[in-house]
A and B are shown apart, each in its own frame.
Chain A
């Protein structure tokens, strides 16, 4: 298994541009997540999905959109990039069952700079 893969690894955007960060997992996990990590900080949840066709907001959703048309893919869309969105973005997935221990597995990250 490749696990969780993310593309691109790096990207520089100008203010107002848009882009999509791609995330794919091959572990047949039902849950997928997007986090952002600012320098010297922990991870903050942007959006998550409990299955194909279902998404929900996390802690910091403003300025982002997501979709989940398949179990494997969970792209994150930035419509009007702003300098405040400069960060490292991590996608994660897990197989969630009620009250069970389960682990989120993370991708390698996308480093985004907005100038």
Chain B
């Protein structure tokens, strides 16, 4: 069945370094991908998204890369800050078939000062 998974459950980085969070997806028909950030005790917050007709999209300090050949998604955070500490989820969907998102299990990002 469909699944979205993450390679690393926990990532620790030094403040100021760049962070890379990875995600593998199995449904080659998925055409839309989203990264969410979830801080402790809060709901998921949208960070950045990308459609399958792109391989890179940049936001403020964040970049999402999509490699459809190997069905891999990554989130890069530049100059990681303590406020970036959270759980990060990738999610996928096939826009032909409605609006259901399939979420991965999440990666914990810990930023050391």
Contact = CB atoms under 8 A, between A and B. Distances in A.
B54 to A, nearest CB: 11
A109 B103 contact: no
Interface residues of B, number: 23
B96 to A, nearest CB: 7
Contacts of B99: 31, 48, 50, 94, 96, 102, 104
27 contacts: A41-B106, A42-B4, A42-B89, A43-B89, A44-B103, A45-B100, A45-B101, A48-B100, A50-B99, A90-B43, A94-B99, A96-B98, A96-B99, A98-B95, A100-B95, A101-B32, A101-B51, A103-B34, A104-B34, A105-B46, A106-B44, A106-B45, A108-B41, A108-B42, A109-B41, A109-B42, A109-B43
A42 B42 contact: no
A99 B89 contact: no
Contacts of B34: 103-104
The DSSP consensus for interface residues of chain A is loop
Nearest to B5: A42
Contacts of A50: 98-99
Please indicate which of the listed interface residues A50, A100, A104, A108 has the most CB atoms of chain B within 10 Å of its own CB: A104
Given A106-B45, A109-B43, A42 B95 contact: no
Contacts of A102: 99
